[in-house]
Chains A and B, each alone.
Chain A
């Protein structure tokens, strides 16, 4: 079965850049999206189709996807960005797969 692997945790100082990776076999051949989940809340879509932001998502969130790795970048990280982040991919062969999740801590 297809798997997406993320680092368990990422720490970042306020105002700095946080990068969260998502690794999977030929992930770049598929589109990746990213979800943010704060404690006790439902996930929220922050990036879809590799690098598109839904309405209402701040510009500091950006995404890229190439080769075997998709990356979510949070520029100028704020305290409110502290959350768990999950990548997800789809295609007709793997259906829907979520990553293992990354906890982002703002120091």
Chain B
């Protein structure tokens, strides 16, 4: 059974750096064809892909946010960490951690419960 859970602050101030941790179980991020990604959703709006890290430590970032994002993994702890710098109120959103699988294409197989992050002074 695959589970993912996001943890981190629920409130950050503008210009601060957000750090979110995804703790997962039921799969290994060392296995070929597996990845962990982050997706966010502002209140009442659509899903937006942020970043992904693959089993081989390859990383991809959303072009529009690339300069502000960093993703890392700790395979021994079954954790993936997302860092987003220079937070702004427009970054207020629910942030989801996801399990990715490859089968001719990559897709988001399982999702965490999400964590709402509010950016406000």
Contact = CB atoms under 8 A, between A and B. Distances in A.
Interface of A: 1, 30-31, 33, 35, 37, 42-45, 48-49, 52, 54, 86, 88, 90-91, 95-101
Interface of B: 37, 39, 46-49, 52, 60, 62-64, 96, 103-114
A104 B63 CA distance: 30
Q: A-side binding surface: helix, strand, loop or mixed?
A: strand
Nearest to A84: B46
Given A95-B60, A99-B46, A42 B105 contact: no
Given A42-B96, A42-B114, A48-B103, A97 B108 contact: no
21 contacts: A30-B105, A31-B104, A31-B105, A33-B105, A42-B111, A42-B113, A43-B108, A43-B111, A48-B107, A49-B103, A49-B104, A86-B46, A88-B108, A90-B105, A90-B106, A91-B105, A95-B49, A95-B60, A95-B63, A98-B39, A98-B48
